[in-house]
């Protein structure tokens, strides 16, 4: 009887251990997927913060640079396009890149307006925008770190089997197109 009990326990453990490992892997995949979603939400929050600052910036510039109407309209269009984009991460990063390009152009044009560069409201908005850019970069790094962890987990054995079984998918990194665009734009003047 004791040997039968030992065999039953052994067979039970033989089935129970893989099930427990599978449950652990499943739970880790759920945690990682949730962290990716949460970190994307953090990026979204910081981008919206930037989108809300830009109209004030445009209004301030408009008072000084009246003949830059086409540039200010381009900034407004790029902001609207980026703010309304709810597509894939790759598509949103492209839209975001176009918006950043128009902001860079705006700050390049501001160089021609010394009074604007010294305006208190403009300087305050510029400082807040620079702070927001830093927060966006930090959020992107956090998001990409979570994507990396999820992707590694989904692609390594035995987690890849559980990921495939329960339809877990790898996530896309938030990337910029050009190496020169990987640095934050200089929003300050000497």
pLDDT of 11 reads 83
Q: Provide the pLDDT for residue 188.
A: 52
List the beta strands (DSSP E) in the chain.
Answer: none
Instruction: Identify whether the C-beta of residue 170 lies closer than 8 Å to the C-beta of residue 29.
Output: no
Neighbours of 3 (CB within 10 A): 7
* Sign of the dihedral through C-alpha 179, 181, 185, 190: positive
Per-residue pLDDT of the chain (190 residues; tens, 9 = 90+): 688 888 888 888 889 999 999 999 999 999 999 999 999 999 999 999 999 988 888 888 877 777 778 888 889 899 999 988 888 888 888 888 888 888 888 888 888 888 887 788 888 888 898 899 999 999 999 999 999 999 999 999 999 999 999 999 999 999 876 554 445 555 554 4
**pLDDT given for residue 190 in this prediction:** 43
**Site of tokens 């830093």:** 134
Q: What is the pTM of this model?
A: 0.78
- Could you give all domains of the chain from N- to C-terminal order, each with its CATH number? 41-182 (1.20.1440.20)
């Amino acid at each position: 009887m004791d040997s039968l009990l030992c065999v039953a326990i052994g067979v039970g453990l033989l089935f129970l251990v893989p099930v427990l490992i599978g449950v652990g892997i499943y739970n880790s995949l759920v945690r990682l997927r949730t962290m990716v979603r949460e970190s994307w939400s953090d990026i979204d929050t910081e981008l919206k913060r930037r989108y809300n600052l830009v109209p004030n910036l445009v209004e301030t510039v408009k008072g000084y640079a009246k003949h830059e109407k086409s540039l200010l309209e381009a900034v407004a269009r790029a902001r609207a396009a980026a703010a309304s984009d709810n597509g894939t991460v790759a598509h949103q990063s492209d839209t975001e890149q176009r918006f950043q390009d128009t902001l860079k152009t705006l700050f390049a044009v501001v160089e021609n307006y010394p009074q604007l560069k010294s305006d208190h409201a403009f300087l305050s908005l510029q400082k807040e925008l620079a702070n927001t850019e830093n927060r966006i970069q930090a959020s992107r790094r956090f998001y990409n770190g979570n994507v990396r962890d999820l992707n590694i987990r989904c692609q390594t054995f035995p987690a890849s089997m559980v990921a495939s079984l329960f339809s877990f998918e790898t996530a896309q990194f938030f990337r910029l197109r050009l190496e020169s665009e990987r640095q934050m734009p200089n929003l300050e003047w000497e």
